[in-house]
Structure 1
Amino acid sequence: MTARRTVAEPTPTRVGYGTLLRTPGAWTFLVPAFAARLPYAMLSAGIVLLIQSAYGSYGTAGLVVAFAAATQALIGPQTGRLSDRYGQAAVLLPTVAVHAVSVGALLALALGHAPTWTLFVSAGVAGASVPQIGAMVRARWVTRLSDSPKTLNTAFAFESVTDEFTFAIGPVLATGIATLVSPSVSLITEAALTVIGGLAFAAQRGTAPAPHPSVPGAEQASALSSPGVRLLAGSFLGVGSVFGAMTVTVAAFARAEGQPGLNGVVYGIFAGGSMLAGVLYGMIAWRRSVRQRMLGSYTLLVLGCSTLWAMPNLTALAIAGLCCGLAIAPTLISGYTLVETLVSAGAKTEAFTWLTGAIGLGLAAGSIVAGLLVDSHGARAGFVVPVVGAGIGLVALVSLRRLLDTPAGPGRIAAQGGAKVQLAGASKG
């Protein structure tokens, strides 16, 4: 059996966000990254508004969005792997071009009332070509902070809060533009931000990780060949199902209560709880290992989700949603911290994109299943999905938690030079 390394925990030190943001070169990639990742949260809302406006069907719009999310979840890790091999700029330049063209094609097809199947093709390409900016930013933090694991933990917390913030304002921005101008302009804005932000981010080559080209004749190992990465991706499917089911079921519950206008408020409290927890997580000097923190926060997530179905009104649901949200960010931050320790420098971007893609795939599946349950059994039935999805993820994490240990000798998967290189690393965050 492979020996596991036991490392004495050092006395924790507090690392603030001020220290993080004073990292040399940080702002040069953070600003364009924010512009480039905002469209990630605008795309789904923009597609729904465009197709509903053109075809008058929320059902068709939902299916097209789910397909776009699925292609994004499946293709995203492949672009992440290419980024590790050839460099971020080499992948971003063609990716943003394809994305802009595919969004333009979707607009033309929808406005021209083309056959529905053509919408799936164009939206699928648009989803597959969404730049994986979040994963690329995390890979840059790893490069900049490789000698400071405590600061890296704060960086991952910062990124989680940024993700939550973009997902909070992205749909609002897309909806606002669609309402005030038109759904077409909403998607045009999304594509423009993707191109401008993506190109500006790609131009910051000085902070990008060095590429790890493959060695001719050697097999290139994927980050997914690590059992720990597969376990984390599976657990993130459960987290994604919570997002998807909450989006659909909260809306249905608010409508059933006769207050559909409060849907956004309740979901906003859920997302706000996650943002708050993410901010606090990055400010705490943790004594427990990152694996223990993930198991603890995931357990709290399942417990919180198990109460949703019993809430008698929207006020109670908002409080329960807040409790669920408080467990989301710590779970995600811990997962991203763990996956970074399980792969080498030549596979980190790909590993991050597998987790991000798993969330997107879980979101698509959760929204579809919750929608079917709501249609057939009422609004409360949709709250079964978060409990089951997150519950399965927790069972997998607890039963297979040893896969998250970082091997002291052979066992760490590297995707550089083509061969499976064995490296040591610490799993403490």
Structure 2
Amino acid sequence: MAARRTVDNPTRNRAGYGTLLRTPGTRTFLVPAFAARLPYAMLSLGIVLLVLDTRGSYGLAGAVAAASAVAQALVGPQTGRLADRYGQSAVLVPGVLVHAVSVGALIALALGHAPAWTLFLAAVPAGASVPQIGAMVRARWVAKLADDPAGLNTAFAFESVTDEFTFVIGPVLATAIATGVSPATGLVAEAVLTVAGGLAFAAQRATAPALKVPAPGTARESALAAPGVRLLVGAFLGVGTVFGAMQVSVTAFAESAGRAGTSGIVYGVFAGGSMLAGVLYGMIAWRHSARQRMLGCYALLVLGCSTLWAMPNLVALAIAGLFCGLAIAPTLITGYTLVETLVADGAKTEAFTWLTGAIGLGLAAGSTAAGQLIDHGGPSAGFLVPVVGSGLGLVALVTMRRLLVAPATAARTVARSVPLRPQPVGAASRG
């Protein structure tokens, strides 16, 4: 039986990004992973632009995009669980093909002016089949750096920065193609990147985590069975409301100021602050446990969100957004670090996808709530949503923080590894 490490042991060693990227085999999966995860940030906006262009309705466009996002958030963890059980390639290959067919059907229905309800029939499988590349990459880092806590912390920081970068570049790319060529072409590009990147990533089997088969008499449990995972899912819902409310509220605030074109700059400052903090976070040799860091980072997030509603102009809002963004990446990095310690080896991809899905659900809820408040109370009212959403997450973390320590029973590995490739006769398997 292999002993699991605990996150309450302070990490005192330092692992730089250069050392991380020189880890054997990493570049072979990082490059296709970036191509495959870029469409993750293109799909919703691409759907909005396509439906708006063909139907002229913001309401319908937002509803179809929301249906896709919710399907993605709910089905993603199930995809992660299947990947843990059958292997990443076994899930990715059919998944990206279903995604391509669904997106193609959505484009055809929109251009053919089919009934509005048919758009939802295509949007739901399109969202549900989005490959969970971010979670799969993190699972590969865990497999490579299981005995290197400092390196794993740096890897999670690197992944958080990559996520932020894709969410900055993805919408820009989708908008450029949609306006420069056509909205339909923008979604075609999204599907092509998903298929090409997904298949290329799936082909890198050598770096994929080994399958874990439950020991005789041991049932395979969902990652969500761990109370600490459920707590982090709730906390990440709060983070998602910050993303969703910021997108809507910044846009409304800029339009009310007569400078609608600057909304992207203000939101870019917010995202840039998160990227900067993520880079720095991964370079620090932390002396506090991950649980302590999670509480501290989340508290800073709530503090940053609490000032947004009071900003008098766009410059002040951009500065406040910068400080708010500085807490985002550290919170996400620490959350992924914690959840990795709370589940058995055969459920890590699923655990990561639950956190990613929670952000998606929170984003949808935050944007909807902020839109309603803006309609009734003006653009500044939308900034109350991040305060409430993150505030509730902080209350949950503080009152139930004991759940973020892996129980003693979780310190044992109850599954044995099954290699994804044939091994010579007599080769020992790892457990």
- Name the TM-score class by shorter chain: over 0.9
Counterpart amino acid of 2:265?
A: V
Is structure 2 residue 60 aligned with structure 1 residue 56? no
Match of 2:222 in 1: 222
Name the SS of the counterpart of 2:42 in structure 1.
helix
> Following the alignment from structure 1 to structure 2, what is the Cα–Cα distance between the partners of residues 412 and 182?
54
Counterparts of 1:347 and 1:209 in 2: how far apart (Å)?
11
CA distance in 2, matches of 1:156, 1:267: 23
1:63 Cα shift? 1.2
Question: After superposition, where does 1:226-241 map in structure 2 within 5 Å?
Answer: 226-241=226-241
Contact 1:342 1:413 in 2 (8 A): no
- Does structure 1 residue 242 correspond to structure 2 residue 211? no
Separation (CA, whole Å) in 2 of partners of 1:122 and 1:302: 37
Question: In structure 1, what residue type is equivalent to 2:386?
Answer: P
Seen in structure 2, the aligned counterparts of structure 1 residues 292 and 7 have a Cα distance that, compared at 3 Å, is: closer
Residues of 1 paired with 2:370 and 2:87: CA distance?
39
1:84-163 alignment runs, 5 A limit: 84-163=84-163
Answer with 163-172 or 109-118: which moved more: 109-118
Residue of structure 1 in register with 2:322 after alignment? 322
Q: For residues 373 and 311 of structure 1, what CA distance do their matches in structure 2 show?
A: 17
Query: Residue 257 of structure 1 corresponds to which residue in structure 2?
Result: 257
**Equivalent position SS for 1:168:** helix
C-alpha contact 1:28 1:204 (8 A) present in aligned 2: yes
Q: Relative to structure 2, which stretch is displaced further, 364-373 or 272-281?
A: 364-373
Q: Name the counterpart of 1:14.
A: 14
Match of 1:355 in 2: 355
Q: How many Å apart are 1:373 and its aligned residue?
A: 1.2
The equivalences for 1:9-408 within 5 A come to 9=9, 12-213=12-213, 219-408=219-408
Encode CA deviations 1:216-257: one digit per residue, 9 max, x unaligned: 886431000000000000000000000000000000000001
Per the TM alignment, residue 213 of structure 1 is displaced from its structure 2 partner at its CA by 4.0
SS of 1:286 mapped into structure 2 = coil
* C-alpha separation in 2, matches of 1:352 and 1:123: 24
| Contact 2:345/2:413, CA 8 A, preserved across alignment | no
2:67–2:123 contact (8 Å) kept in structure 1: yes
- TM-aligned CA distance change 1:411 to 1:285, over 3 Å: closer
TM-score, normalised on structure 2? 0.93
- The change in CA–CA distance for 1:301 and 1:10 in structure 2 (over 3 A counts) is closer
Task: Report SS of the residue matched to 1:212.
Answer: strand
Q: Deviations over 1:382-419 (max 9, x none)?
A: 111100100000000000000001223457796889xx
Check the 8 A contact 1:406/1:412 in 2, yes or no. Answer: no
> Partner amino acid for 1:27?
R
2: CA distance between counterparts of 1:24 and 1:219? 34
Q: Return the alpha-carbon distance in structure 2 between the equivalents of residues 402 and 322 of structure 1.
A: 31
- How far residue 66 of structure 1 moved from its aligned partner, in angstroms, is 1.2
Please say if residues 158 and 282 of structure 1, whose CA atoms lie closer than 8 Å, have aligned partners that are also in contact.
yes
CA distance in 1 between counterparts of 2:37 and 2:164 reads 11
Amino acid at match of 1:237: L
Equivalent in the alignment of 1:425: none
- Residues 8 and 338 (structure 1), Cα distance of their counterparts in 2 relative to 1, 3 Å cut: closer
**Corresponding letter in the other structure for 1:344:** A
Alpha-carbon spacing, 1:249–1:10, altered in 2? closer, same or farther (3 Å): closer
Contact 1:141 1:152 in 2 (8 A): yes
Who is 1:424 aligned against?
none
Matched-pair contact (CA < 8 Å) for 1:86–1:213: no
| Preserved contact between residue 7 and residue 291 of structure 2 (Cα < 8 Å) | no
Q: Is the 8 A contact 2:6 2:341 kept in 1?
A: no
TM superposition shift of 1:172:
0.2
Amino acid at match of 1:30: L
| CA spacing shift, 1:169–1:6, aligned 2, 3 Å | closer
Which deviations, in whole Å up to 9, do the C-alpha atoms of 1:242-276 show, x marking residues without a partner? 00000000000000011001000000000000000
Q: Which runs of 5+ in 1 are unaligned?
A: 418-429
Q: Retained in 1: the 8 A contact 2:156–2:336?
A: yes
Task: Report if the CA contact (8 A) 1:250-1:267 is conserved.
Answer: yes
Return the offset for 1:71.
0.6
The alignment's TM-score, normalised by the length of structure 1, stands at 0.93
2: CA distance, partners of 1:216 / 1:105: 44
* RMSD of aligned Cα (Å): 1.9
Q: Is the 8 A contact 1:269 1:318 kept in 2?
A: yes
User: When the two structures are aligned, how many residues end up with a matched partner?
Assistant: 414
Which stretch of the first structure deviates more once superposed, 242-251 or 407-416? Answer: 407-416
Letter in 2 for 1:250: V
Counterpart-to-counterpart distance in 1, 2:7 and 2:318:
42
CA distance in 1, matches of 2:363, 2:126: 17
